[in-house]
Amino acid sequence: MSTPLSWFFYSRFDAIPARHLFEILRLRQQVFIIEQDCIYEDIDSLDPLSEHLLITQKGDQMTASTEGQLGSKKQNRVKRQIQSKVHSQRSAPSQTHTSEKALATLRIVPAGAKFEEVSIGRIVVRENARNLGLGETMVRNTLARLQTRGEKTVKIEAQHHLANWYGTMGFETCGSVFDLDGIPHVQMICSLKSVQPMIEEPNGKD
């Protein structure tokens, strides 16, 4: 990627600017609901309790009404199912603008809110930004941040097919495979003493 990335870390939910909250939730919707064909709740009661990391990149000229559209038949079918549940709304007029695209995001859930340990979740990378190491850098950076706070362990619910990927960053399976929203998951735990996180200092705000 030739355009520099911007990192934004928000330690309070109410500190997230509206435009960044929109990008976080839109990216999660595009991947977890539309791309994965999984019509389950994404926004939940943990979001206001969590810290949020967002990585963005300045985009080229695009049309607001078409930016973010996904092309596969399955994705379009799911989009229609979602739209059918929404009360009739008027479409916003198209306008051309230079946009700040969300490339990746995750959230940090405090200890006691989901698990006894601090947890990270909603880890997602935009489809056209994958295979660039961005997801690993984002997770390792978050582990480094938690390590500097004195956290000892981090627990996650990982999609089962990604267990080996998380294993390269020090996570170990701590339970059997279970179904979550129609997708096989497994709980994993990471001892922060056993990892050597890469440090990518965010440019954004605490």
pTM: 0.75
pLDDT in tens, 60-106: 533 333 234 334 444 444 444 434 333 333 333 334 345 788 999 99
Kindly indicate the confidence band of residue 15, based on its pLDDT and cuts at 50, 70 and 90: very high
CATH of domain 5-194: 3.40.630.30
pLDDT in tens, 29-53: 999 989 888 888 899 999 999 999 9
Q: Integer distance in angstroms from the first to the last C-alpha of the chain? A: 25
User: What's residue 4's pLDDT?
Assistant: 85
User: What's residue 156's pLDDT?
Assistant: 94
DSSP character at residue 41? -
Distance between CA atoms of 179 and 12, rounded to whole angstroms? 31
Kindly indicate the confidence band of residue 199, based on its pLDDT and cuts at 50, 70 and 90: low
Q: What's the rounded mean pLDDT across residues 5-28? A: 95
pLDDT in tens, 106-128: 999 999 999 999 999 999 999 98
Question: What would the DSSP string read from start to end of 166-205?
Answer: HHTTTEEE-S--EEETTEEEEEEEEEGGG--------SS-
User: What's residue 178's pLDDT?
Assistant: 92
pLDDT in tens, 138-174: 999 999 999 989 999 999 999 898 899 999 999 999 9
Position 24, amino acid? I
User: What's residue 114's pLDDT?
Assistant: 95
| All residues at 6 or more sequence positions from 47 whose CB lies less than 8 Å from its CB, including other chains | 13, 107
Q: Is 202's pLDDT higher than 60?
A: no
User: What's residue 99's pLDDT?
Assistant: 78
pLDDT in tens, 167-198: 999 999 998 999 888 889 999 999 998 666 56
Kindly indicate the confidence band of residue 203, based on its pLDDT and cuts at 50, 70 and 90: low
